[in-house]
Amino acid sequence: MMSYDRENFDSEYLCPHCGELLYLEHSTPPTEVCLNRDCQLWPSGLISTVDATQSAEPQIYRELQDNENQLVAEISNWKPGALARYAYKARRELITMFLKNGVMPGADYWFAIGELLLMTNKHPSRGTTDSLERFRYLLEVVRRWSQDQRNLEDLRTKRYVLGRTESGIRAFWIKFAEAVMESQRGLGIVSYTERFPIESMFPYIHLEVAATPNVDPSQVTDAAEILGTLWPTSLQLRYVLRSHYRT
């Protein structure tokens, strides 16, 4: 088992003063802070952080549950099998665009389709609705609900933190999120117009390019050479499919 000395462990994602996780404040440019109240990097003017547990913020959980109940009611109005047919077709289209362009065109919709399929398995349809337009509307509603669920999960796990000040709310996100987002961009899962510098996060990123052979299928006879060019795509699909393992 790997072990390390906490006192001597150094990382650009850990506070150099107390060793806790570093966060970035939503500002221009982002400011590094530490949310350990006893640390000298504690944000100036910050009074406290929001506790996103159900006991502390029951209204948020009630609203999400109410939205879910409305979705379940809508699903019950559909013709049996119709929703699943539309959902799998939409997922296939996303995968086709992903393979064609190398970038997932809408990660939010990928998660939404997964949530919708999960709901259809848990709550069978008994109605007569069978409409592509109605499906598009429902998928958009599920997308917003799914996004709210994931945002709440980020707050619960403290990947994202809201802080209270006398003038209002300030937002912080864990610094390591930069590395996660860059990894997702490298896999083609997401794309952003704003890019973080990656030199310090992934100093060996060039090895992926060097390890991927560039071959002309018309000039080779060994299928292994062609398959060797597809391993990045295999990793991308594995990441996407496991990102919503419940469905």
Residues 142-175: pLDDT tens digits? 999 988 988 888 888 888 899 999 998 899 988 8
172 strand-pairing partners: 25, 161
> Do 105 and 147 have their domain in common?
yes
* pLDDT grade for 34, boundaries at 50, 70 and 90: very high
pLDDT digits (tens, 9 = 90+) for 201-221: 344 444 444 444 555 555 555
> Do 95 and 134 have their domain in common?
yes
| 24 three-state secondary structure | strand
pLDDT (0 to 100) of residue 195: 40
Q: Would residue 120 count as lying in a domain?
A: yes
pLDDT (0 to 100) of residue 236: 54
> Do 77 and 137 have their domain in common?
yes
> Do 88 and 140 have their domain in common?
yes
Q: Which of 184, 83, 163 has the alpha carbon at shortest distance from 129?
A: 83
> Do 119 and 146 have their domain in common?
yes
Q: Would residue 53 count as lying in a domain?
A: no
| Exposure on the CB side of residue 12, measured as CA atoms within 13 A | 10
Report the alpha-carbon distance of residue 103 to residue 106 in Å, rounded.
9
* pLDDT grade for 70, boundaries at 50, 70 and 90: very high
- What's the whole-number mean pLDDT along residues 72-96? 92
> Do 124 and 66 have their domain in common?
yes
| Residue of higher predicted confidence among 99 and 2 | 99
Yes or no: say if 157 and 171 are a contact pair by the CB < 8 Å rule: no
Answer yes or no: is pLDDT of 36 > 80.
Answer: yes
Q: Would residue 246 count as lying in a domain?
A: no
- Long-range contacts of range 24-30, CB-CB < 8 Å, 24 or more positions apart? 24/172, 24/173, 24/174, 24/175, 24/177, 24/178, 25/170, 25/171, 25/172, 26/170, 26/171, 26/172, 26/173
Q: Would residue 110 count as lying in a domain?
A: yes
> Do 13 and 38 have their domain in common?
yes
pLDDT digits (tens, 9 = 90+) for 106-116: 778 888 998 99
> Do 196 and 208 have their domain in common?
no
> Do 120 and 135 have their domain in common?
yes
> Do 67 and 123 have their domain in common?
yes
Q: Would residue 52 count as lying in a domain?
A: no
- Domain end marker among 125, 156, 187: 156
| Residue of higher predicted confidence among 52 and 8 | 52
Range of the domain at 222: 204-240
> Do 124 and 76 have their domain in common?
yes
> Do 66 and 139 have their domain in common?
yes
First-to-last CA distance in the chain?
33
Q: Could you give the number of structural domains in the chain? A: 3
